[in-house]
Structure 1
Amino acid sequence: MRTREALLDAAIALAKDGRSPSIPEVAEAARVSTATAYRYFPNPQSLWADLASREQTLRGDFFRVVEELTGDDAEQRIDTVVRRTAEMQLADEVLWRTVLRATLDRWFEQQELPESERVPVRGTTRLELARAAVEPLADRLSPARLDRLVHAITLVFGVEALVSTRDSCALDPEGAADLMVWSARALVRAALAEAEAPHTD
């Protein structure tokens, strides 16, 4: 386990320098033999897939955000989750773009495999964070509506939203985080308005 973590830490450090390193480069940075590194990760894709599927070693940092959630105000809770996630990812933008590239590579590599043999491309961290944020709405939204809200919120924060806000919208990090928060709050309000609207035939 120590060797695996050393390799992952080395890969993260190299990625933060804007590189997508080879296994020998990661092995050298981790100070282990190349042969040993290949036993853990037979190719760069397997290395980055490990990071991507676990939302890399920052998963614990993300879930510390959940500990900050207080009260029953869903908008305030989603503000906390989205803003803190955006701040953490924007602070390591190169790393997160590298992880995103790895997940896309993994998706393409598995297209020839039967569905039953494919390995999940992404982890569930973002879904779990969104669900924790809107948990107080469980008594106001049906399970189906709550699920749809959680899924919708995952569209407006995380690494893909980072790329959209930074590249397509050309926002600075603060503006990108603000837009993600505004979008998530808007989704919460829309879900509640829809659920509370009178039904008409």
Structure 2
Amino acid sequence: MWPLDLYSVSWATGTGTITPLTVGGISLEALETVGSLERAGFLFAGTFVFAAVVLGLLQGYAPRTVTKARRSPVISICVGLPSLLVVVGLGSTGYLILDTDLGPFFGIPMIVFGGTIVPAFTDLGFVALGRSLAARLGCDRLSVGILLGSVLAGVAGLSLALTVVVAGLAGALGIGAGVRVVMATGGTSQPDDRTVPPANKI
């Protein structure tokens, strides 16, 4: 459901040992102890519920992000990969400095930011992938996209390595499309926002 969600850090010996890669806030070691069918069911249900919540809360922005991801997935992934690394890096840095004097002021906001952005946009990436599959089946609706995207997350959950790869791809796709939507909103794409040429000014 959610890719590369921060890092887990242990300070028991006084020296930080970083255990990379947790999925959805759960370490890969914990996911390995769960059966493949249980993991697939968890990822399906989690993706379905969280995607519905995100699309319900961000009714204008989230559907545009899904549409942008569908129209130009390659560009969205190219933009999203470095953006995903930056967001994960910020969240990881916040976790690392949590026990320091700066932790309450900088660490917690950075963790909240990374832990919110990554899951939300990963789910939007799954919805975009699911809606693309739905379009090929002749049923291009957002609700069907949510269902098929959740099924895709569940199928990927059958393999732990496949989960990381597919979730990372969906995360890059969703974050990249989200960044592009924000940049387009701040531009002059609306007719009323276009600059009038000097020769035509009154």
What TM-score, normalized to structure 1?
Answer: 0.30
Q: Which has the higher contact order (CA 8 A, sep 6+)?
A: 2
TM-score, scaled relative to structure 2: 0.30
More strand by share: 2
